[in-house]
């Protein structure tokens, strides 16, 4: 098993602590079947040169601690068969953005050492973390690999998005209760998904066709049983035009259903 990136530098006051869902993401992408699929799709020595020698842009939405993106960046050789991927992390939480940058850089350094015996001594370069709502800041058609472990727990209300400036305030001057309130709010953003736990994920699904690179874009999205992933997959296939959805990872059982699943979404070109 490939090592999990170190997150000892991360404060979990406002940031999602890596959990079962995070680990399912790691295990799914590094599984022999999924990494074979990705390696084939993004192989640098493929026969259609212009298409696939270009470095893939790998974007994670809602990076939290950065454990998933850090893992993918550090293990790019295993997962994509190449190290020249371009990892970019997005979260609405500034602390998560900063944490992810450090997690990714540390994980790359740790895993990709100057080892002469290694066939590939290239090193993956972490691009940046950006604060944004989902894919709103990304150029249309630019994303090759999109990953999202969303806030998926059904909740009465969906927490509002942070305002532009509220994360600029210095927390040292904050009262204990103000800090408690702030922390609870940012943690609610990590899990609360509104109706059926799907309000944020539904917005993301709508963005997918516009975000993914034509020809080779692929998205991975995590669902819990209450999100009714079977219906979601049907809905995606109903987009037509070759859109596909398949469960490629799952964990745990709940009343005969898989508790968590990861769905791969991509377009089959004729």
- Choosing among ligand SAM, another protein, none, which partner's interface includes residue 35 (Cβ < 5 to 8 Å by kind)? none
x/- track of binding to another protein for residues 38-57 (CB under 8 A): ------x-----x--xxx-x
* Binder among 6, 30, 162, 251 for another protein (CB under 8 A): 162
Verify binding: residue 88, another protein, rule CB under 8 A: yes
Choice between 75 and 93, CB closer to ligand SAM:
93
DSSP symbol at 268: -
Distance CA 257, CA 261 (A): 10
Choice between 63 and 75, CB closer to ligand SAM:
63
Verify binding: residue 119, another protein, rule CB under 8 A: no
| Near another protein in 196-255, by CB under 8 A | none
Of residues 259, 150, 262, 269, the one with CA closest to residue 217: 269
Residue with tokens 């509220």: 166
By CB neighbour count within 10 A (0-12 exposed, 13-18 middle, 19+ buried), where does 148 fall? buried
> How many C-beta atoms surround the C-beta of residue 269 within 10 A?
9
By CB neighbour count within 10 A (0-12 exposed, 13-18 middle, 19+ buried), where does 217 fall? buried
3-state SS, one letter per residue, for 57-105: EEEEECCCCCHHHHHHHHCHHHHHCCCCCEEEEEECCHHHHHHHHHHHH
Residue with tokens 């295990």: 27
x/- track of binding to ligand SAM for residues 77-116 (CB under 6 A): -------------xxxx--x--------------------
- Choosing among ligand SAM, another protein, none, which partner's interface includes residue 93 (Cβ < 5 to 8 Å by kind)? ligand SAM
Task: Give the interface with another protein as residue ranges (CB under 8 A).
Answer: 44, 50, 53-55, 57, 83-84, 86, 88, 92, 94, 97-98, 101, 122-123, 125, 127-133, 136-140, 142, 161-164, 167-168
Task: Give the interface with ligand SAM as residue ranges (CB under 6 A).
Answer: 16, 18, 21-22, 25, 61-65, 67-68, 90-93, 96, 133-134, 149-151, 189-191, 200
């Amino acid at each position: 098993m490939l090592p999990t990136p170190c997150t000892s530098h991360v404060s979990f006051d406002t940031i999602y602590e890596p959990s079962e869902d995070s680990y399912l993401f790691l295990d799914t992408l590094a599984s022999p079947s999924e990494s074979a699929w990705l390696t084939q799709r993004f192989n640098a020595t493929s026969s259609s040169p212009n298409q696939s020698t270009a470095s893939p842009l790998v974007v994670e939405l809602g990076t939290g601690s950065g454990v998933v993106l850090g893992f993918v960046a550090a293990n790019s050789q295993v997962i994509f068969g190449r190290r020249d991927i371009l990892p970019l992390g997005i979260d609405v939480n500034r602390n998560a953005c900063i944490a992810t940058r450090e997690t990714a850089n540390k994980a790359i350094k740790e895993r990709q050492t100057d080892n002469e015996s290694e066939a590939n001594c290239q090193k993956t370069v972490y691009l940046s973390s950006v604060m944004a709502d989902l894919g709103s800041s990304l150029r249309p058609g630019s994303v090759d690999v999109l990953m999202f472990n969303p806030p998926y727990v059904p909740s009465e209300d969906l927490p509002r998005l942070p305002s532009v400036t509220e994360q600029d305030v210095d927390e040292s001057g904050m009262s204990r209760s103000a800090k408690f309130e702030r922390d609870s709010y940012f943690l609610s953003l990590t899990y609360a998904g509104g109706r059926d736990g799907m309000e944020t994920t539904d917005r993301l699904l709508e963005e997918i066709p516009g975000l993914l690179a034509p020809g080779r874009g692929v998205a991975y999205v995590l669902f819990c049983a209450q999100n009714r992933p079977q219906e979601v997959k049907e809905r995606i296939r109903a987009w037509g035009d070759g859109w596909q959805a398949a469960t490629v990872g799952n964990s745990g059982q709940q009343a005969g259903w898989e508790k968590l699943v990861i769905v791969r979404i991509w377009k089959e070109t004729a």
